[in-house]
Structure 1
Amino acid sequence: MSPIVVTNPPRADREVVGALAGYGVATVHEAQGRRGLLGSHIRPRQRGVRVAGTAVTVTVAPGDNTTIGVAVEQCGEGDVLVVVPTAPCDMGYFGDLLATTLKVRGVRGLVIEAGVRDVADLNEMGFPVWSKAVSAEGCGKGNLGDVNVPIGIAGRIVHPGDVILADDDGVVVVPRLEAADVLAASQAREEKEAKARARYLAGEIALDVNNMRPLLEQAGVRYVDYEDYRKEQGL
């Protein structure tokens, strides 16, 4: 089958994407029922950065980054490039030159289940990357993949136009058509956590804030004084 480039796929609402950027990956992951989190081997190559954008998806051949260059033309303001090789490969698919052309187009970052290089330059220029590996080994040219088709990456399916949220904790994908509902759920979770935080600051503990004592009772947990415990154990 010939490689395919899908143009102008629908994208999640920009206002919703922007609002989701106000919440962390952990919050959004929990808010959407603990779904959508990419595998923990996809790690940030910088610290203290959070991005939210709409996915432009790319498949690449092992050891060949040609299709990333093809995908640049399909990228625009507010996008996040999401790249997966068709077979496992940790080579350095992406560096400062590709980052430069993407940044000029308003792309907010890269998520790739492979390697990147020029990490110091990427950090200096402020182009955030989440990747499986870091490798100085460069790629060849000439074998093409697809752009803007559904892909499987790090244990999750990403469709073009889905929301990608990434920070120090990793990367989570929010399906395009669920983005508004997940935003509302994230807002509700944040409000709930704010109330819990106030109780912790007042000196309460998780057993009470999270109403865990009935669980302990149901599990038959006994509280035994140390001396009584010693006698029971024959110590």
Structure 2
Amino acid sequence: MENIGFRIIPRSQYPDLELIAQFQNVVTPHLSDNMNRIFASCSQLRPYHSGKKLVGSALTVKTRPGDNLMIHKAIEMALPGEVIVVDGDGDLTNSLIGEIMTRLAEKQGVAGFVLNGAIRDSGAIASRDFPVYARGVTHRGPYKDGPGEINVPVSIGGMIVNPGDIIVGDEDGLVAIPVQYAGLLLDKARQTQQIEDGIIETLEQGGSINRDWIDQFLQQKGCSLDDEDARK
């Protein structure tokens, strides 16, 4: 009989490491812009490691706040290239992981952690490049009682993550990409990069960019324009 709320769901898909690797050179702003800026976690989730980019396939965990029993299980069952994505309800009362768990996960081939909750041993985590994103820090340790679920949809600071989604994290934040849209978003993000590279190159060479759209848009909004003396 199903024990809803305390169970492990079998994987429905496995990490495509070749596909995942293609996101190493794509930044989160370009991915976010091409998903209309609504598929991202809240700004409170931030990186606590020394800067390495996070790219991998989501192994999701839903746990009771302050309890990491199912996170330990996720480390044991994780495949190389997976990101352990934990919904701890955003609670900061108790930490969910610390230095030892990050080292165990790294040894297992885990690509990193995303935690809608707290960590501890933040100094040790900050000294290493193993990716860890979290909502906060506390010295108070976790419990190991359960319940929890593995391989279920989770909410990470407003971002819905399904098992197998591609997670990309950098200094600007996190995005989750459904695998079925990965190729499309890769192409769109690369096009955005080319456009921005062209703008930057033009500016660096002393050229100018057409900015007429600003006044045109303001006029459409009914804004009264009286800035003739602004540059004199």
Same fold (TM over 0.5): yes
- 1:99 aligned partner, one-letter code: T
Residue 145 of structure 2: aligned partner:
142
Residue 31 of structure 1: aligned partner:
34
Residue 51 of structure 1: aligned partner:
54
Q: Is the 8 A contact 1:80 1:109 kept in 2?
A: yes
Q: RMSD of the alignment, in Å?
A: 2.2
1:113 CA displacement: 0.9
Residue 214 of structure 1: aligned partner:
216
State how far apart, in whole Å, the 2-side matches of 1:9 and 1:74 are: 14
Change (3 A) 1:196 1:84: same
Structure with max Cα Rg: 1
Name which of structure 1's ranges 23-32 and 181-190 shifts more when overlaid on structure 2. 23-32
SS of equivalent residue, structure 2 residue 127: helix
- Does residue 62 of structure 1 match 2:87? no
Q: Write the deviation string for residues 179-218 of structure 1: whole angstroms up to 9, x where unpaired.
A: 1111111111111111111122233455x15843432454
Q: Is the 8 A contact 1:12 1:179 kept in 2?
A: no
- 1:215 aligned partner, one-letter code: F
State how far apart, in whole Å, the 2-side matches of 1:12 and 1:182 are: 17
The match for 1:188 among 172, 186, 191 is 191
Residue identity (%): 26
- 1:214 aligned partner, one-letter code: Q
State how far apart, in whole Å, the 2-side matches of 1:210 and 1:134 are: 46
SS of equivalent residue, structure 1 residue 4: strand
The match for 2:119 among 116, 120, 136 is 116
Residue 82 of structure 2: aligned partner:
79
State how far apart, in whole Å, the 2-side matches of 1:7 and 1:210 are: 55
State how far apart, in whole Å, the 2-side matches of 1:151 and 1:10 are: 16
Q: Is the 8 A contact 2:90 2:157 kept in 1?
A: no
SS of equivalent residue, structure 1 residue 146: strand
Q: Map of 1:156-235 to 2, 5 A cutoff? A: 156-204=159-207, 208=210, 211-218=213-220, 219-225=223-229
Q: Is the 8 A contact 2:89 2:116 kept in 1?
A: no
Number of residue equivalences: 226
SS of equivalent residue, structure 2 residue 8: coil
State how far apart, in whole Å, the 1-side matches of 2:198 and 2:225 are: 28
Change (3 A) 1:210 1:135: farther
Residue 233 of structure 1: aligned partner:
none
- 2:157 aligned partner, one-letter code: A
Name which of structure 1's ranges 184-193 and 119-128 shifts more when overlaid on structure 2. 119-128
Q: Is the 8 A contact 1:12 1:176 kept in 2?
A: no
State how far apart, in whole Å, the 1-side matches of 2:212 and 2:186 are: 23
Q: Is the 8 A contact 1:91 1:138 kept in 2?
A: yes
Q: Is the 8 A contact 2:15 2:82 kept in 1?
A: no
Change (3 A) 1:119 1:224: same
- Structure 1: runs of 5 or more not aligned: 227-235
